[in-house]
Amino acid sequence: MGGLTGFSSLLPGVIRMDSSGAGGRLTEEELNAPISTNDHPFLRVHAALIEAFEKSQKKGEENSQKGNPEDS
């Protein structure tokens, strides 16, 4: 694919976002690496949203662990 659709230019970002593993070219370390200037523009634009989501997930996990009486 490619040409006028521009799909080929999106391929690196799609592979990194693909949770099914169909891309298969990147290692687990590469998939979980922080978003940098080398990443696809789509990932860079949404980096702040992704970071905020990850922080809220971590905060939620910490709060659920603090409130769990079985851990005491």
Cα–Cα distances in Å, from 48 out to 31, 42, 54, 61?
Answer: 17, 12, 10, 20
Domain ranges of the chain: 3-71
pLDDT in tens, the chain (72 residues): 455 555 555 565 555 555 555 556 777 887 788 888 888 888 889 888 988 998 999 988 888 887 665 554
Tally of CB atoms within 10 A around 12:
17
| CA triple 6-7-12, angle to 5 deg | 115
Q: Which two tokens stand for residue 31?
A: 């998939």
pTM reported for the whole predicted model: 0.45
> pLDDT (tens digit, 9 = 90+) per residue, 17-33?
555 555 567 778 877 88
Percent of the chain with pLDDT over 90: 8
pLDDT of residue 14: 58
